[in-house]
Amino acid sequence: MSNVTKIYFSPSGTTKEVVDQLASTFSQDGDSYDLLNFNSDKELGSDDIAIVGMPVFAGRIPKTARQRLAKFKGENTPAIAVVNYGNAHVTDALLELVDLLKENNFNVIAAASTISHHSIFDGVAVGRPDSADIEKIKEFGKRCQEKIESNESLEAEIPGNKPYVDYKKLPFEISCDEAICAFCYDCVSICPEKAIPDDDPVDTDLDLCSRCTACISICPEDARKFSGEAFESKKPAFEQANSERKEPEFYL
């Protein structure tokens, strides 16, 4: 029997939720790899099924997540590629994820883009994935299972362009309110860029920081947040421009 292996990078937790929902449609269980902390070589066999979820960061999959995912090698392993975005744009991220998996000897049988609550602009896609999204994700999971059982390959064309859009680092500041920080160091442990000094969790090295949101999401005191003029001035217009509901897309 195949193992269903979940691989994801999910700083604010919604990509993990989508991957978990998709995996729940399979009767088999398997290992989970959280790329916020897993950074090692790993081989999957032809009997495994990989469900791989990545958030969209400025039209790409996050650079660090890409480097960590590249350490996974398949053996013509069936894979389902999912990018999860904040109701703005997918741009080249899904194509990039599918290409990377293929380069590493995964047999990508299906792909999807799903929508979740925007992890920076929190007025966008509030409450998503919602029950309508989850129903569609589960239906997609069943179709993936049928495809794997009947040995079918991916037929649909994946949207995106090559060369992929250049990496872009967002100019927003992240601040920490020292008055409410409990010095638990959870943010230090989770930061994939080592941008929070372990002797001063109130500080953030913005040159190293990818703005991934993991520290904001994990902080039990809500001490960390986006701040500053660039963020505050962009927020209303961004939220207005991306207020219309988008729907998940499935490629089989």
Minimum distance, C-beta of residue 121 to ligand SF4, in the bound complex (Å): 15
Residue 89 binds ligand FMN, judged by CB under 6 A: yes
The DSSP call for residue 66 is H
Q: Considering the rule CB under 6 A, would residue 35 count as an interface residue with ligand SF4?
A: no
Query: Which of 113, 119, 145, 204 touches ligand FMN (CB under 6 A)?
Result: 119
Backbone angles phi, psi at 81, to 5 degrees: -105, 125
Q: How far apart are CA 240 and CA 237, in angstroms?
A: 5
Site for ligand SF4 in 55-94 (CB under 6 A): none
Q: Is 219 in the site for ligand SF4 (CB under 6 A)?
A: yes
Whole-number Cα distances in Å, 128 to 133, 182, 218: 8, 30, 19
Q: Which of residues 50 and 88 has its CB atom nearest to ligand FMN in the complex?
A: 88
CA triple 192-196-202, angle to 5 deg: 145
Q: Does 59 bind ligand FMN (CB under 6 A)?
A: yes
Helix (H, G, I), strand (E, B) or coil at 98: helix
* Shortest spacing between CB 241 and ligand SF4, in angstroms: 23
Q: Residues near 173 by Cβ (< 8 Å), separated by ≥ 6?
A: 206, 226, 227, 228, 230, 231
* Window 142 to 201, contacts with ligand SF4 (CB under 6 A): 174, 176, 181-187, 190-191, 193, 195-196, 201
- Residues of this chain that bind ligand SF4 (CB under 6 A): 174, 176, 181-187, 190-191, 193, 195-196, 201, 204, 209-215, 218-221, 223-224
